[in-house]
Each structure stands twice: as C-alpha cells, then as structure tokens.
Amino acid sequence: MKIRSKQTIEAQQNQEALKHKEILSRTETAKLLGINLSTLWKWTRDSKLTSYGLGHKVFYKYSEVVQALTPLNTKD
C-alpha cells in the first residue's frame, strides 16, 4: 500500500478543483503546471502559452494550458 503525504493529497485536490475552472489566474496556472511565476511569464513571452487580460489582470484558459502540453514519448 502506498502512503501519500498530506501535501501530495492537497496538491491533487487543488489540481482537481482547477480542472473545473475555465479561466485561471497566473497563480492558479503556475500551480497547475508546478512552475513559478517567472517561468510562466517566460513561457508566455516565448508564445508557449497564450494569456488574456482584463484591466491589469492576466488570465489563462484551462483548455489552452492543457492543449499546450506536448507528449514526451510517442510511439509510432
């Protein structure tokens, strides 16, 4: 039987909650991807992710974040 830490369980619950949101904040997007905000900014600058703004706020679409993920191991 595998024992999971409390932090691991909380992280999984947070990711499940984010799956139900269509629009994510910068912080939520970074948490979902397991990266820090500076990496998120760099990926956005490099056009790996598309951001959207409203006023001074920046948002990401959940579907586009998931779509931006690329498989590492592909079998032909």
Please indicate, yes or no, if residue 15 is contained in any of the structural domains.
Answer: no
pLDDT at 5: 74
Single-letter residue type at 6:
K
pLDDT at 75: 73
Please indicate, yes or no, if residue 13 is contained in any of the structural domains.
Answer: no
**CA 65 remoteness from chain centre:** 6
Instruction: Give the residues of the chain that fall short of pLDDT 50.
Output: 1
Residue 22 vs residues 28, 37, 42: alpha-carbon distances, Å? 11, 19, 22
pLDDT at 1: 46
1 CB-contact burial (10 Å; exposed 0-12 / middle 13-18 / buried 19+): exposed
pLDDT at 35: 97
Instruction: Tally the domains of the chain.
Output: 1
At residue 59, the 3 state secondary structure works out as strand
Domain membership of residue 28 as a residue range? 23-68
